[in-house]
């Protein structure tokens, strides 16, 4: 994973401590991927998923009320 990725915090995140994620766009051999990490542990592991997989996951989440 490249070290110069631009990470974006979830729009549902606040400045309060809690469970937040960050996402970065990247590519593996010119194939687009998303990197997902815990915002409280930026040096920790990151998940790598295809954009279509992330979109399907997000689509299946219940609406925030």
pLDDT per residue as tens digits for the range 3-51: 789 999 877 776 666 778 899 999 998 999 999 999 889 899 999 999 9
34 lies in some domain: yes
Residue 2 lies in a domain: no
Nearest CA-CA partner of 56 in 28, 30, 34? 34
Q: Does any domain span residue 56?
A: yes
Which of 42, 7, 46, 1 has the alpha carbon at shortest distance from 25? 7
Residue 29 lies in a domain: yes
Q: H or E element: which one contains 16?
A: none
Q: Is the separation of the CB atoms in 46 and 28 below 8 Å?
A: no
Whole-prediction pTM = 0.76
Assess if residue 65 is contained within a domain: no
Higher pLDDT, 41 or 64: 41
Per-residue pLDDT, 1: 64
The domain total for the chain is 1
pLDDT given for residue 39 in this prediction: 87
pLDDT band for position 65 (cuts 50, 70, 90): low
What's the CA gap between 17 and 60, in Å, rounded? 26
């Amino acid at each position: 994973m490249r070290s110069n990725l631009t990470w974006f915090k979830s729009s549902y995140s606040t400045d309060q401590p809690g469970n937040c994620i960050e996402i970065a766009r990247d590519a593996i051999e010119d194939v687009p991927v998303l990197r997902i990490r815990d915002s409280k542990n930026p040096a920790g592991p990151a998940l790598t998923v295809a954009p279509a997989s992330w979109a399907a996951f997000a689509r299946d989440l219940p609406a925030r009320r």
